[in-house]
Amino acid sequence: MQTGSGNGQFMSEINVTPFVDVMLVLLIIFMVTAPMMVQGINVNLPKATAKALKGDEERLIISIDNEMKVFINEQVVSVEFLTQKLAAILENLKTKDVYLKADKQVPYGVVVNVISKIKKAGVDSLGMITLPDNEDKS
């Protein structure tokens, strides 16, 4: 089977057109679905007067929702294993700063229990996330 030049060699070229077509379709699919995948934990934050934090780096956030479920960023974790999981995460971080946001309907005792578990994990600095007095949560 000879093609092309006639010198007795096979000519092999890769047709990249189907590959490019598939990649463009996947790109479009990911561009459309990526905004739908962003989720957060709905927490009804208490209001307080404090200045907003400035910073560009991503923060580690512990959340407690109104059903008293505890989250590390957006991953649910049981309160019993919070210290172990948080300690494992903090081993790989250069700053051991954690922020806590709790729904205002969560009992004080639950929040204090979570704070003690966070401190046992070796957190250097624990901040509380609130809403400003003049701003409503939307």
pLDDT tens digits for range 18-71: 889 999 999 999 888 877 765 555 666 666 665 655 555 567 889 998 888 999
pLDDT score of 8: 67
Report which of 23, 65, 17, 15 is spatially closest to residue 44, judged by C-alpha positions. 65
The domain limits of the chain are 47-132
- pLDDT tops 80 at residue 98: yes
- pLDDT tops 80 at residue 108: yes
How many angstroms separate the CA atoms of 49 and 133, rounded? 6
pLDDT score of 2: 47
Q: What is the mean pLDDT of the chain?
A: 79
pLDDT tens digits for range 122-136: 887 888 887 776 655
The dihedral sign for the CA sequence 43, 113, 95, 74: negative
Phi-psi region of 97 (alpha: psi -120 to 50; beta: other; left: phi over 0): beta
**47-132: what CATH class?**
alpha beta
Structure tokens given for 127: 């901040």
Report which of 43, 112, 114 is spatially closest to residue 80, judged by C-alpha positions. 114
The DSSP bridge partners found for residue 70 are 64, 77
